[in-house]
Structure 1
């Protein structure tokens, strides 16, 4: 794996795994629990990371390119969901979902967990940096990364 396809392959692997690590870090270390649309953004990254990982074990360069391209499309779909979510957070348009919360337990403990669980709203950004929310950063990084991966594959002369 040399040249531009090697770069694309590594980016298709590192970008979704890094963004997922950041999402889980912000959740479990930073206490920023995900709303429903935050979860929607994670699913394509799982798919992209799995496809890019699988591509490491594929010897045929044509199939490897196809897997990396599919991973890039997964990354792009997460970015586009992030863009939609950021628009909901900035009140540019209305979201498609209800708010979510985290609950656990059973019986009385479940009821207590439900009553004490924080309500996670999709239309409110719990954290921003330079006025950009986590969903906005996912849009920027994922969309830009997916375009870079696809351009790198397209410009590569050899499979």
Structure 2
């Protein structure tokens, strides 16, 4: 099995990563539109990270670079998008772990902030967290949604790591 995984190319890893991104977004949109769970600002940032990774994987799958430089670039870009998602999901979990008296107060909605503030200030405010991000709306097997998203990002990290493996393995 290990040798089979080592033989997978950039396109295979990219398509696998893209498929997993589609799955993650389908779950997120299903929870929003079917289960009625409104995403908080940190949830939206996690979706942006998934979509960023999906864009990298889609371009990598279409391009399917042969050389180490191209494949390495896609691997690093994909890993950066996934790492961003891991960071935001981790921050979200941390906010949920705070005692109620330490939870930041609820701030304005993301749409409102995007209309009035520069992008940099919006990012800083969202990452500082708010009360709505600390709410736990759903537990599945004892793990909150940001916890599952963090697990999803860790699994998703296998795709860019696979791309990097294919970029730097010896060619025979």
TM-score (norm 1): 0.73
C-alpha deviation, 1:101, in angstroms: 8.0
C-alpha deviation, 1:141, in angstroms: 1.7
1:56 alignment counterpart:
61
**Whole-Å Cα distance in 2 between the matches of residues 94 and 43 of structure 1?**
24
The answer to whether the 8 A contact 1:37-1:122 is kept is yes
**Whole-Å Cα distance in 1 between the matches of residues 26 and 106 of structure 2?**
25
Match of 2:39 among 34, 39, 50: 34
Structure with the largest fraction of helix: 2
> Which SS does the other structure have where 1:143 is aligned?
helix
Match of 2:77 among 51, 60, 70: 70
The answer to whether the 8 A contact 1:99-1:121 is kept is no
Match of 1:121 among 128, 132, 135: 132
Match of 1:84 among 87, 91, 94: 91
> Which SS does the other structure have where 2:9 is aligned?
helix
Give aligned pairs, total: 141
**Whole-Å Cα distance in 1 between the matches of residues 19 and 8 of structure 2?**
15
TM-score (norm 2): 0.68
What is the alpha-carbon root mean square deviation over aligned residues?
3.0
